[in-house]
C-alpha cells in the first residue's frame, strides 16, 4: 500500500479548493463514508498483520492532518464568504435609492409669486415696508385719525405707544411717496396683522398693495389694470364688478368682486349665493393723502388697491378654511 499516492491525492484536492463549497465537496470525497480514506482503511484488512499496524498508524496520522487542514481552510473561506455577504449588504448597488424629500413653495408664496409676476409684467415695481410700523404711517398719514371709526375694523397689536404691527400694506404707499416724486407705480407685498382668528381670519395674513400716481391717472386706468390682473389670475372670461365703498384714504372708493369661480355665478356656499366673490379694496388716492406726503394734489392723481393673498389663494385652490395655510400639515401643503 502506497501512502505516498494517498498523500499526493490529498495535496492535490486541498490545493484545488477555492470556495467554502469546495471545502465541503473535498471533505466528502476524502473523508466521507465512501471517500478515499475509508477505501484505504478498508484495504488495510488485506495486508499482512505486521504491515497492517504500521499502515493504519500512517493513514490515521494523515487523516488527522487532512481534517485539520480542511478545518483551517473552512474557517478562512467562511470568513471571506461572510465578509462578502457583509460588503454586499452594506453597498447593494442594485437597491433602489432613498428618494430625498424635496420641499416646495408654500401655496401662499406660490400665489404671491404669481401676483408679483402679473403686476411686474404690467410695469409695477416691488416696494417693501416694515411689519412693525409707526401709528403715523399705518393710520394717521392714511387719513385715519386716532378717533376714526375705521380703526375699529383694523384693531391690531400695539407694540408701544405709537408703534403697531401694521394692519395693512397701505403704509408702504406713504413711505414710497415720501421717498420719491411721481410718477409712482409700485406694488407692496407683505405680511399684515389683526386681532382676528376664525375660519376666514388669521392674526397674520398677507396683502398686496398697489399704487399708481402720475399726471392724468384715472379710475378707468384702475379698472384696466385690475381687469388685466383678474384675467391673468383667474382666466380670460372672469367677470369683474366695482361696488361703491368707503376707505378714508381713497375717494371715490370701490370694492372689487369677481364672478364666483366655484359656481360660475349661479350661487353657491362659497359666494353665499351671490354669484360674486370680493377680492379687494381700491379707489382714487384721497387728496389729503397727497398733502400728507407733500405731493401737489392739483398736479397729479392716482389710484390704489389692496388685496388679501390668502383670499386669492383660497379662491384659486378652492380652500374653505384659511387656517389650513398655517397648520403646517404636510398632507395639505404637498397638494400644491
Q: Using CB under 6 A, list all residues that contact ligand DAH.
A: 168, 170, 209, 247, 250, 281-283, 304-306
Distance in Å, CB of 138 to ligand DAH, minimum: 10
Helix (H, G, I), strand (E, B) or coil at 65: helix
Q: Are 110 and 316 in contact (CB under 8 A)?
A: no
Residue from 303, 327, 324, 299 nearest 313 by CA: 324
Distance in Å, CB of 215 to ligand DAH, minimum: 19
Q: Are 209 and 169 in contact (CB under 8 A)?
A: yes
Question: Which distant-in-sequence residues (6+ apart) come within 8 Å of 256 by Cβ?
Answer: 226, 240, 241, 242, 243, 278, 279, 280, 281, 282, 305
Can you tell me the distance from the alpha carbon of 208 to that of 213, in angstroms, rounded to the nearest whole number? 17
Residue from 319, 305, 168 nearest 229 by CA: 305
Distance in Å, CB of 296 to ligand DAH, minimum: 20
Q: Are 189 and 214 in contact (CB under 8 A)?
A: no
Can you tell me the distance from the alpha carbon of 53 to that of 148, in angstroms, rounded to the nearest whole number? 125
Distance in Å, CB of 244 to ligand DAH, minimum: 12
Task: Report the residue number, 53 or 291, with the smaller CB distance to ligand DAH.
Answer: 291
Task: Report the residue number, 42 or 152, with the smaller CB distance to ligand DAH.
Answer: 152
Q: Are 16 and 22 in contact (CB under 8 A)?
A: yes
Distance in Å, CB of 152 to ligand DAH, minimum: 12
Question: What φ, ψ does residue 263 adopt, rounded to 5°?
Answer: -105, -5
Helices (H) and strands (E) in the chain, counts: 12, 10
Question: Which distant-in-sequence residues (6+ apart) come within 8 Å of 166 by Cβ?
Answer: 129, 130, 131, 132, 133, 137, 138, 156, 192, 193
Task: Report the residue number, 24 or 151, with the smaller CB distance to ligand DAH.
Answer: 151
107-121 and 309-317 helices, crossing angle to 10°: 100
Task: Report the residue number, 66 or 253, with the smaller CB distance to ligand DAH.
Answer: 253
Distance in Å, CB of 94 to ligand DAH, minimum: 59
Task: Report the residue number, 156 or 282, with the smaller CB distance to ligand DAH.
Answer: 282
Task: Report the residue number, 74 or 221, with the smaller CB distance to ligand DAH.
Answer: 221
Residue from 292, 302, 109 nearest 210 by CA: 302
* DSSP structure string for 96-107: PPPPPPPP---H
Distance in Å, CB of 250 to ligand DAH, minimum: 4
Task: Report the residue number, 13 or 255, with the smaller CB distance to ligand DAH.
Answer: 255
Task: Report the residue number, 168 or 206, with the smaller CB distance to ligand DAH.
Answer: 168
Distance in Å, CB of 281 to ligand DAH, minimum: 3
Helix (H, G, I), strand (E, B) or coil at 163: strand
Task: Report the residue number, 31 or 122, with the smaller CB distance to ligand DAH.
Answer: 122
Distance in Å, CB of 175 to ligand DAH, minimum: 13
Given the C-alpha cell 470525497, which residue does it identify?
A: 29
Amino acid at each position: 500500500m502506497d501512502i505516498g499516492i494517498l498523500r499526493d491525492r490529498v495535496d492535490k484536492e486541498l490545493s484545488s479548493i477555492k470556495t467554502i463549497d469546495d471545502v465541503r465537496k473535498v471533505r466528502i470525497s476524502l473523508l466521507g463514508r465512501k471517500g478515499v480514506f475509508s477505501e484505504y482503511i478498508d484495504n488495510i484488512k488485506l495486508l499482512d498483520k505486521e504491515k497492517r499496524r504500521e499502515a493504519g498508524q500512517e493513514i490515521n496520522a494523515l487523516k488527522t492532518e487532512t481534517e485539520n487542514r480542511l478545518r483551517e481552510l473552512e474557517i478562512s473561506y467562511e470568513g471571506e464568504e461572510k465578509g462578502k455577504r457583509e460588503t454586499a449588504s452594506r453597498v447593494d448597488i442594485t437597491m433602489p435609492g432613498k428618494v430625498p424629500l424635496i420641499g416646495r413653495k408654500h401655496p401662499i408664496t406660490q400665489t404671491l409669486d404669481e401676483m408679483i409676476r402679473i403686476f411686474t409684467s404690467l410695469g409695477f415695481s416691488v416696494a417693501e415696508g416694515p411689519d412693525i410700523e409707526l401709528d403715523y404711517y399705518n393710520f394717521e398719514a392714511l387719513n385715519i385719525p386716532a378717533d376714526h371709526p375705521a380703526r375699529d375694523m383694523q384693531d391690531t397689536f400695539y407694540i408701544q405707544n405709537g408703534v403697531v404691527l401694521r394692519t395693512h400694506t397701505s403704509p408702504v404707499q406713504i413711505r414710497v411717496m415720501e421717498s420719491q416724486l411721481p410718477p409712482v407705480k409700485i406694488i407692496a407685498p407683505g405680511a399684515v396683522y389683526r386681532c382676528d382668528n376664525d375660519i376666514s381670519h388669521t392674526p397674520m395674513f398677507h396683502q398686496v398693495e398697489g399704487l399708481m400716481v402720475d399726471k392724468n391717472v384715472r379710475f378707468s386706468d384702475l379698472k384696466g389694470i385690475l381687469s388685466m390682473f383678474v384675467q391673468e389670475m383667474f382666466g380670460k372670461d372672469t367677470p369683474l364688478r366695482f361696488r361703491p365703498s368707503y376707505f378714508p384714504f381713497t375717494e371715490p372708493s370701490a370694492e372689487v368682486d369677481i364672478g364666483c369661480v366655484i359656481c360660475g355665478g349661479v350661487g353657491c356656499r362659497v359666494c353665499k349665493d351671490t354669484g360674486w366673490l370680493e377680492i379687494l379694496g381700491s379707489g382714487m388716492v384721497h387728496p389729503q393723502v397727497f398733502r400728507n406726503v407733500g405731493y401737489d394734489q392739483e398736479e397729479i392723481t392716482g389710484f390704489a388697491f389692496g388685496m388679501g393673498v390668502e383670499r386669492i389663494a383660497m379662491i384659486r385652490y378652492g380652500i374653505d378654511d384659511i387656517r389650513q395655510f398655517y397648520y403646517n400639515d404636510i398632507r395639505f401643503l404637498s397638494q400644491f
